Structure 1
Amino acid sequence: MKIQYINNFSISINEKFIFEKHEFTSNNFDNPFSLDEFDINIIDLNSIWENSNSENIYDIDIMNDLKSLKDMMANSKKTIFLLIIPFNQQYRYTKHSIRGKYTSYEILKDIILQFSKIPEFLLGRNFNVGFLKYERTQTFITNEDLLYADFYFSGINEFLTKSNSDKITTIKLKDKIYITTLNFCFNSEFFAKNIINFLKKINLIEDQTIIPEWIYEINLLNDKEKKQEINNQIAIIKDAQIKIKDAQEILKKNLHFKSILYSTGDELVNVVFEILEKILDYNLSDFKDNNHEDFLIKKPDITFIGEIKGVNGSIKSANISQLEVHYRSYLDELEEEKIEEKVKALLIINPNKNRKLEEREKVHQDQINLATRNGSLIIQTYDLLKIFEAFEQKKLTTEKIEEIFINKIGLLEFEKDFE
């Protein structure tokens, strides 16, 4: 029997092992093998309950992987599916964009109707969200082996396993689809044993003579050569998987920064803050937006005051004038407090945000002239990204960037100003 265990545990990157002659392959949701290569595919919904963006259950971080898996399931022809309902755990959502910590959480038992939408999404309307109820139970899968569950199925007539308290913990949903609430503890040394005993109990595996472990230690025929060949290829695959995962993480991070080419509002401001903090070596976490300027960066020799905007159309004179109002207001405050300070106004703007870069309008000369007269500097988000790219590649220093920001007025053009 070939079994693929699909889960969200970081340790399982194409991990393979044999138990009682059954071959287990463990893969994450983002890299499962073709489902029909296996007799049984076990889909474990534990440890997927994180949502960096919102409370909406359909926005959980692995939703794209689940969509791909759903398509694979729909296109499979022969494999059997076992879906594992998660144990009671936290659903963490809304990650702080700067600190990287989740700000909110719910316990799954308190949001059964919401979290049940994920198995319903994978299985279609055959899975009724009203099936699940919360109650901690114990179920014997053999005379000695006991498994725990935090949820059970209600309103079901036919079942495959029941708890000691007569609660249904495993059902057959339809042909080739089984669902269980039992917790198999992947990190436990008994995981494979529990899975096999469970599959035997629900008649997906027939009891056969167990191959003794010592037989695998005997090398005859060309065993030794083939074992070495397998180990070599597994090492290559693991290395490739790690490199792919690392590259995917970098691309995901790059996509986060590239969002300033289409975003607006707080989303735009937060990412621009991250970039400014890096390229100007400054901490903006203490900055408070008092509905005046969008940022204030006080360096030893210069203070940068600025506006951050994302607009559907081209840059307007009103955008530059608004920056000038905040600039003059800040100068008035300095004068009242009798503080001498060199100040430079920056307008960081994402114009034509819904258009491709090559289709965006050039900044009109009137707006460039107005910024020049005001002594301010317009920085389009694409040019800010190019500066950030050069900084990350160590082609630009903070000192050089500050120098350009201080001395340049009108419109910043990366290709010309950072030659």
Structure 2
Amino acid sequence: MKRVQVISDSGSKKDDNRFTYTKLNSPNALDDYDINIIDLNNDYLWRNEDNSNKAINKSNDFRSISKMIKNSKKSQIVVMLPQNVDFRYYYNRVYGSYEYTKPLKDMIPNMTVIIGGLTSSIKKCSIAFENTLTEVGQEEIPAAFYFEDNPFVGKTYSIRSGKMTTVLLDDIYYTTLELSNEKRIVAFLRFIGLLEEKAEIPDWFENIVMFDDQKQKTIIQNSKKQIADLEEQINLSKEVLNSNSKYKSILYTTGDELVDVVKEILSDMLGIDLSGFVDEKKEDFNFELKGKIYIGEVKGVNHNVKRENVSQLDLHVNGYLDDNTDKTQNDIVALLIINHQKNKDPKDREPVNGQQVKLAEKYGSLIVETTMLLELYSDYKSGTITRDAIIELFDQVGLLEYKYHNIEHSVIQNNRAKRENAWLFLVFIGTVFDYDFVILCYNNSKCNV
């Protein structure tokens, strides 16, 4: 059913929830409704505290609604004129009552002027008093006034006298009918064509199966199941994407947000539990794995790796060794996991400065870029690399230079210090054996030194 707003000061007259009732001083937007009915048939509306019957106390409300009507682009407007109620004016504040009373039938010109403050086109109409009945559907609705000698479009007429009781003028419906309840209003709106007459579907109708009803119902049922399955898959995929985005966030985050995700990645890859780690504002993580103590510093910075970043990790390592005199540097795996140049796209980031790599080698620590950590984690999740291989990769110094080669337990890249030692050893061997073969062997990484 169309949306209908009844603007009235006569209070709620709801028969059901089909209509919205608002007051003259606070109506809702007219174009929020298909039909707006302005009900002027209210005793309290036709009053004026001043000594005049040419205005009402609600004149300001009329002016506001008049502007709303002019600005309405699509709503149908129906104005319900009053019945022959008494107009009361000149309020006596001592006695708390009005001094004068006059029936509206005796002041029709002034009534028309007052309504003209709401909709000016009413002034084109000639209104006369006469009690009539108008048949609207199955209803006989009374009216105290009618429109006489008007060259306008009539919509309803009284039963026997044929007096015009509803007129369409400048796209506004004016009616003198006493539409005192929703039953009458619905009958009236249907009669003038603003509401479509539709038969109510009976309960038994749903059980009538003809043509290809069953086939179409089956298609609908199957399609709904497919949609439900697809929506479930979409939700699962969204959850995975959200999880992936969380891990990828280590490419731009810093602080606790970065530390928490890095610890989650390490916990999964290395099979450890960092939930019990207490952050004492020293290292960002500390755990034991396969006889080694892992001490880690996690940083997110806009610049490249600096000396102080590497040195800070070394301070944590030395602090640990001071507190644990039974441990040595060989027992420590020191990791600087750093999201450097985080304000840049990873592909535009400069390589880690060689001086900081040498400093890490000197301190016996390993610089792990978050870009490299993500590569490791992605390959771990896909089964390309195993946990043991990752543990071996972390047991180096300098800069982690992981390249995925579909291997499992072998270490992919040796650290720079081991390469230098290997090179010296090969040079020595080359003096004894075939030097060219030894060089070829080293360059192809086929020698196991």
State the match for 1:258 in structure 2: 248
SS of residue matched to 1:345: strand
For 1:242, give the aligned amino acid.
E
Tell me if structure 1 keeps the 8 A contact 2:336–2:366.
yes
State the match for 2:381 in structure 1: 392
State the match for 2:362 in structure 1: 373
Provide the C-alpha distance between the structure 1 equivalents of 2:239 and 2:24, rounded to a whole number of angstroms.
43
Distance 1:218 1:290, change over 3 A: same
State the match for 1:67 in structure 2: none
What count of residue pairs does the alignment treat as equivalent? 237
2:278 to 288, 292, 298: 288
State the match for 1:235 in structure 2: 225
Tell me if structure 1 keeps the 8 A contact 2:337–2:370.
yes
The ranges of structure 1 where at least 4 consecutive aligned residues each deviate by more than 6 angstroms after the TM superposition are 139-143
- C-alpha displacement at 1:222, in angstroms? 1.8
2:308 to 315, 318, 329: 318
For 2:332, give the aligned amino acid.
V
- Whether 1:403 aligns to 2:392 is yes
Q: Which entry has the higher C-alpha Rg, 1 or 2? A: 2
Distance 1:339 1:409, change over 3 A: closer
Q: Deviations over 1:292-322 (max 9, x none)?
A: 1111012241110010000001011111111
For 1:219, give the aligned amino acid.
V
State the match for 1:176 in structure 2: 32
- C-alpha displacement at 1:362, in angstroms? 0.5
SS of residue matched to 2:298: strand
What is the CA RMSD across the aligned residues, in angstroms? 3.5
- C-alpha displacement at 1:140, in angstroms? 12
Provide the C-alpha distance between the structure 1 equivalents of 2:197 and 2:291, rounded to a whole number of angstroms.
79
- C-alpha displacement at 1:174, in angstroms? 6.5
Bigger mean CA deviation after superposition, 236-245 or 262-271: 236-245
1:9-408 equivalences in 2 (<5 Å): 158=26, 172=28, 175-176=31-32, 209-335=199-325, 338=326, 342-406=331-395, 408=396
- C-alpha displacement at 1:260, in angstroms? 0.4
Provide the C-alpha distance between the structure 2 equivalents of 1:414 and 1:346, rounded to a whole number of angstroms.
15
State the match for 1:181 in structure 2: none
Provide the C-alpha distance between the structure 2 equivalents of 1:305 and 1:174, rounded to a whole number of angstroms.
69
SS of residue matched to 1:219: coil
Higher relative contact order (CA 8 A, sep 6+): 1
Gaps (5+ residues) in structure 2?
A: 5-11, 18-22, 35-185, 190-194, 405-410, 414-449
Distance 1:174 1:392, change over 3 A: farther
Provide the C-alpha distance between the structure 1 equivalents of 2:331 and 2:24, rounded to a whole number of angstroms.
74
SS of residue matched to 1:258: helix
Provide the C-alpha distance between the structure 2 equivalents of 1:292 and 1:371, rounded to a whole number of angstroms.
19
For 2:212, give the aligned amino acid.
N
For 2:400, give the aligned amino acid.
L
- C-alpha displacement at 1:394, in angstroms? 2.5
State the match for 2:169 in structure 1: none
Provide the C-alpha distance between the structure 1 equivalents of 2:399 and 2:222, rounded to a whole number of angstroms.
57
Distance 1:376 1:158, change over 3 A: same
For 1:373, give the aligned amino acid.
K
Provide the C-alpha distance between the structure 2 equivalents of 1:156 and 1:378, rounded to a whole number of angstroms.
74
- C-alpha displacement at 1:209, in angstroms? 4.3
Provide the C-alpha distance between the structure 2 equivalents of 1:140 and 1:272, rounded to a whole number of angstroms.
65
- Whether 1:415 aligns to 2:271 is no
Tell me if structure 1 keeps the 8 A contact 2:333–2:365.
yes
Distance 1:320 1:210, change over 3 A: same
Tell me if structure 1 keeps the 8 A contact 2:340–2:369.
yes
Distance 1:388 1:222, change over 3 A: same
Distance 1:157 1:287, change over 3 A: farther
